[in-house]
Amino acid sequence: MINRDFLQITDLDAPDLAAILELAIRSIASLGRPLEGRGVALIFEKPSNRTRHSMEMAVVQLGGHPVYTRGEEVGFDVRESVEDISHVMSGYHAMLCARVFDHRVLERMSTSASIPVVNMLSDVAHPLQAVADVLTMKQHFGALAGKTVAYVGDFNNVARSLCQASAMLGMHIRIGCPSGYSASNVDLDQFRTLGAASVNQYDSLETAVKGAHAVHTDTWTSMGQESESKIREAAFIGFEVTEQTMSLAAPGAVFMHCLPAHRGQEVSEQVIDGKSSLIYQQAHNRMHAARAVLAFLLGVRP
């Protein structure tokens, strides 16, 4: 294990990720109760449905007690400093988990907390989502090395973490984004270094999904970007995943989305509610992935 915090997928190495995927499919009882009698702080600066519920249940399943607080109640750097909050939380809880607007807040927490810090989504990364995403693909396809994952739309937090995890599992990565919303060369180089079988980026949805076994997309406007939504809707014209798009992917390709989704924008109703869609399995896997990550950070090994 490279880091006891989980701010990005890259806080793990490939064997760590493999161990977490193994823990995720184990029975709850086999993980023991590493949080028995202990608390976990869950602080949300942005709305959440899946992450809050899956994390609260994961904590309960590991024997612990989740304490949820809204970001505005805690008031990072408004009511008190991130450092003071982190020091204080370290005296109450076994872990400090946060969903933040600015990833640097998590980095400051990591420096000042004496307990593991977990990213529940930042502007940069959504690593808990990525563990559920690769778990879902693995359940569907078996070994993922040599399989092709496509991500199309806005190259955002979800995309970055998904590509990092997919790279660590040896997948081919194909990215399709309109110009101005694509992955940087730093990101693309990182995916190569992490072990991707290949990494290619296109400005065409159709080219990006060619031959893909799994096609992922996400909202065009992430939380915190609401003022840009009109500009973004215009920029992403032509990036809706439709049945025609899926017909260009590999035979038997699956559609995936972290949710919340916008039918008729990034994906058509026919695709997201169709036979190739794994969205509910993917959402349910958030809880199994969360339980595995928390257990792993607490020292549980397969």
User: Which residues are the active-site residues?
Assistant: 99, 126, 129, 218, 258, 286
From 48, 110, 122, 268, residue interacting with ligand CP (rule: CB under 6 A): 48
- Residue 218 binds which entry of ligand NVA, ligand CP, none, CB below 5-8 Å type-dependent: ligand NVA
**126 and 161 Cβ atoms separated by less than 8 Å:** yes
From 51, 110, 182, 277, residue interacting with ligand CP (rule: CB under 6 A): 51
Q: Which is nearer to ligand NVA, 63 or 71 (CB)?
A: 71
**What are the residue ranges of helices labelled H in 31-98?**
50-61, 71-74, 82-92
**Is 267 near ligand CP (CB under 6 A)?**
no
The Cβ of residue 66 has, within 10 Å, a number of other Cβ atoms equal to: 19
Report CA torsion sign: 197, 220, 177, 118. Answer: negative
Residues 151-170, mask of contacts with ligand NVA (x by CB under 6 A): -----xxx------------
Q: Which residues pair with 215 in a beta bridge?
A: 150, 255
From 49, 114, 198, 244, residue interacting with ligand CP (rule: CB under 6 A): 49
**Is 268 near ligand CP (CB under 6 A)?**
no
From 23, 41, 50, 205, residue interacting with ligand CP (rule: CB under 6 A): 50
Residues 119-138, mask of contacts with ligand NVA (x by CB under 6 A): --x-----------------
Query: Cα(6)–Cα(4) distance, rounded to whole angstroms?
Result: 7
**Is 70 near ligand CP (CB under 6 A)?**
no
Sequence-separated (6 or more) residues with CB below 8 Å from residue 107: 7
**Is 119 near ligand CP (CB under 6 A)?**
no
Alpha carbon 135 to its chain's center: 11
Q: Got the DSSP string for 128-188?
A: HHHHHHHHHHHHHHS--TT-EEEEES---HHHHHHHHHHHHTT-EEEEE--TTSSPPHHHH
Q: Which residue has the tokens 């008190």?
A: 80
State in angstroms the smallest separation of the CB of 119 from ligand CP. Answer: 11
Task: List interacting residues with ligand CP (CB under 6 A).
Answer: 48-51, 121, 129, 258-259
Contact positions toward ligand NVA, by CB under 6 A? 121, 156-158, 218-219, 222-223, 258
